[in-house]
Amino acid sequence: MQEWPLIVFTLLIQLSVGSTVFTTFTLVYAADRLHAQEKWRVAAPAMLLAFIAGALGLVASTAHLGYPLNAFHALSHIGSSWLSREIVFASLYLGVLGLTTLIALVSKRVVTSFLLLASLLGLIDLFCMSAIYVHASVATWMHINTYVMFYGSALSLGAITALWRISRCPWLPWQRARRIAVFCGGILIAVTLARLLEQPVYLAYLNGVSRDAVTFPHQPLVAFAQSGTLRLVAWVILTAGTVITARSLQTHRIGRLQLLTGGAAVLLAEIMLRFNFFSIH
């Protein structure tokens, strides 16, 4: 398959945005409970991870364009092209996140307002990214399922990274850390459940699409039908990863082994589902 750059790009950007959103939530939620140094110790590593993931994602996207300078040509249609809008908001998101991370590393303080702006830009970027595929002439993409998948991946991966970050901060008062951890775990469970419940709606839509629908040279409906086993396995792994991650919160402190196992399962499932998403021929 020729779309590995898109798989890497979309997942890395979604991981980056999800991590930024959950880091922002942590700082806002605990604003009156953490002093500046504690905020920095919690947020700086997560911000750096989010920036690196986002930067690598943008690098991967240029591989799909074939020639990196094509990115500049894509910007010429921002008024009518979702691709152009996605490039603009991805660049703005990464620029603001990079500036916020640099300030944090140099001054050892986190500018929460900048992080909030980065989160907002990242969420808008995800909308533009989803709209690129929803407005493409590929039957398996032209559904709200694409938005659910992309935002779901961002929130799931963001929750996992937030939980891992909290588990690496044993100096945090456990009562504060646990409330944040339970919220992140709850979001992961809710998102996974929502994605599973949305699947029958998506399948009903596909069943109503003409079997003769072909976007030359692709046959997305045929490819979708042939990958049923892969999808089923991916959903099982995602559900198992979510359950294992939730169980990691049942101990006095976050169970790191369970969290690592559950997080790895969620990531594997996201890769499998994204591979399935881009398999259209």
Q: Which residues pair with 218 in a beta bridge?
A: 215
- pTM, entire model: 0.92
Cβ atoms within 10 A of the Cβ of 112, count? 16
Q: Is 218 helix (H, G, I), strand (E, B) or coil?
A: strand
Q: Is the pLDDT of residue 143 over 70?
A: yes
Query: Can you tell me the mean pLDDT for 203-214?
Result: 78
Contact 138, 218 (CB under 8 A): yes
The 10s digit of each residue's pLDDT in 32-50 is: 677 888 889 899 999 999 9
**Distance between CA atoms of 35 and 280, rounded to whole angstroms?**
51
Better pLDDT: 80 or 181: 181
What pLDDT is recorded for position 239? 98
Peptide bond connecting 200 to the previous residue in cis, omega within 30 degrees of 0: no
Cβ distance 88 to 124 under 8 Å? no
160, 188 contact by CB (below 8 A): yes
How far is residue 213 from each of residues 91, 202, 245, measured CA to CA in Å? Answer: 35, 16, 40
- pLDDT (tens digit per residue) in 86-132: 989 999 999 999 999 999 999 999 999 999 999 999 999 999 999 99
Give strand pairing partners of 130: none
The confidence score (pLDDT) of residue 68 equals 45
